[in-house]
Structure 1
Amino acid sequence: MTLLRHHDRVEGNLVIEVAFTDVSLSLGDAAEAEVRHEALRQVAAATMATPVLMHQVHGADTVLVDDRGEGEVQTGDALYTSQPGVALLARAADCVPVLLADPATGWIAAVHSGRPGLAAGVVPAAVAALRAGGADPSVAWIGPHVCGSCYEVPADLQDAVAAVVPEARSTTSWGTPALDLGSGVRAQLDAAGITDVRVVDACTREDPSWPSHRRDGAAATRFAGAIWSHP
């Protein structure tokens, strides 16, 4: 079984690589510590980089990783760094993992954008953090996530999110109110001026090769979007 899927890379000041971990790895907070540790060991071996997790809370806080990534897990929903040899991980099981890169400088970011994070603007916050650090992200990857035809929500919740991100309004395949998180993220990237957007066209709820909380409930594991750089 392939450990990393949908691998891509861009080259500039550093070589920047991205991939998404296979469902065989359990990276969620609910996983036993030794299971998650082994998954991280395999990610490290596959990327030749130190994997960095964040304690994701569905907010818009960004965290700068300014060393080799070792130490306490930080709370936030976006990690960013200019350090080579560090693999930033954004975990998901229906939410949108978003990866950002500035090939010219080597700055990278990994973002977890669920429904609350989309409304809170975590992706624009990550772009702003990169630009404040002197980077200008020009490439983004949108990973597998629940699609707009599957993500049913109450009408009032749909209205609340669409009031902030109108492009997220959707309808399920069975005719009820829904949100399209991917379209919402894409609109935020467009608004930020990032036009090279590479999308993994997979719905986590429909495709059993990806974890899905909507499909599997509490039994769902977590995969991760990973981005790392090297000379």
Structure 2
Amino acid sequence: MGNVIDLGHGVRVAVTERKGGVSRPPFDSLNLGPGVGDARTAVLANRARAAEDLGFDVDHVVWMNQVHSTDVLVATEPGGVGTCDGVVTTRSDLVLASMAADCLPVLAADAVAGVLGAAHSGRLGTEGAIAATLVGAMVDQGARTDHIRVFLGPTICGSCYEVPPELQAQTAERTPEAASTTRWGTTGVDMLAAVTAQLRGAGVRDVTADGRCTLESPELFSHRRGAPTGRFASFIWRT
């Protein structure tokens, strides 16, 4: 389903993959996202399977109603935190989730202060620098930027994410690193480069990335490769 990565000081992250669930095509098979057309019973069963496989309680997960915003909320209990694309918590027993199928998951932790954060940075979120907003929200909860470690999940790469020139210019207006050239020689957006730059601009120095392109990796869901499709989840939690 996915590998667990140790970020140190008891913080772990994991990214789920397509196999291991009960969803039928085109959501086959470990779709964790509701609202894409899959059966609700299948999504709930998949979420329970993923949590068990990764070693945490599914009832401790915080889920966002993601809408490509730059809003960040504070989670004080598990379940649905509300409509947002970023969430932070200081509770040691909560698991934060960010779902995607080409957009960039952002998982962050200040293990010393006990603050976790997760965000969903799609094109609009990248344009609005939600990653930097997430860092600011974590600092508001007691984190220090020099203590924050960030793991960036899989996303469509700058060589594959083709957009019209006007959308490229709009996305790169605040973050020039967002502008890319695709493998076809057309205008594109590089969300991984842009978000990395935004995090460094916010004072975060410890940034690592999964590195896989969702469009090029068949083990991951990709909206551009085959919509409708499911959603994989990136989780962060403390042991």
Same fold (TM over 0.5): yes
SS of 1:53 mapped into structure 2: strand
8 Å CA contact 1:211, 1:223 repeated in 2: yes
Counterpart residue number, 2:109 = 101
Q: How far has the Cα of 1:23 moved from its partner?
A: 1.3
Q: How far has the Cα of 1:32 moved from its partner?
A: 1.5
Counterpart residue number, 2:220 = 210
- One-letter code of the match for 2:62? V
Counterpart residue number, 1:149 = 159
- One-letter code of the match for 1:226? F
Counterpart residue number, 1:34 = 41
Counterpart residue number, 1:225 = 234
Q: How does 1:134-213 map to 2 (within 5 A)?
A: 134-137=142-145, 138-213=148-223
Distance 1:161 1:117, change over 3 A: same
Q: How far has the Cα of 1:73 moved from its partner?
A: 4.6
Q: How far has the Cα of 1:134 moved from its partner?
A: 1.0
- One-letter code of the match for 2:232? F
In structure 1, what is the Cα distance between the partners aligned to 2:81 and 2:113? 25
In structure 2, what is the Cα distance between the partners aligned to 1:213 and 1:104? 37
In structure 1, what is the Cα distance between the partners aligned to 2:211 and 2:17? 15
Q: Any unmatched runs of 5+ in structure 1?
A: none
**Are 2:83 and 1:75 equivalent residues in the alignment?**
yes
**Are 2:11 and 1:16 equivalent residues in the alignment?**
yes
1:179-219 CA distance string (max 9 Å, x none) = 0000000000110111111111100001111111111122x
Range moving further from structure 2, 49-58 or 138-147: 49-58
In structure 2, what is the Cα distance between the partners aligned to 1:103 and 1:73? 22
In structure 2, what is the Cα distance between the partners aligned to 1:35 and 1:125? 33
1:116-162 CA distance string (max 9 Å, x none) = 00111211111111101111252000110000000000001111111
- One-letter code of the match for 1:122? I
In structure 1, what is the Cα distance between the partners aligned to 2:88 and 2:2? 21
In structure 2, what is the Cα distance between the partners aligned to 1:221 and 1:82? 30
8 Å CA contact 2:73, 2:81 repeated in 1: no
Counterpart residue number, 2:120 = 112
- One-letter code of the match for 1:36? V
8 Å CA contact 1:19, 1:226 repeated in 2: yes
Number of equivalences? 222
TM score, norm. by length of structure 2: 0.89
Range moving further from structure 2, 41-50 or 74-83: 41-50
8 Å CA contact 2:108, 2:118 repeated in 1: yes
CA RMSD of aligned residues (A): 1.3
How many percent identity over aligned positions?
Answer: 37
Q: How far has the Cα of 1:43 moved from its partner?
A: 3.1
In structure 2, what is the Cα distance between the partners aligned to 1:27 and 1:201? 21
Kindly report structure 1 stretches of 4+ aligned residues shifted beyond 6 Å.
Answer: none
8 Å CA contact 1:40, 1:51 repeated in 2: no
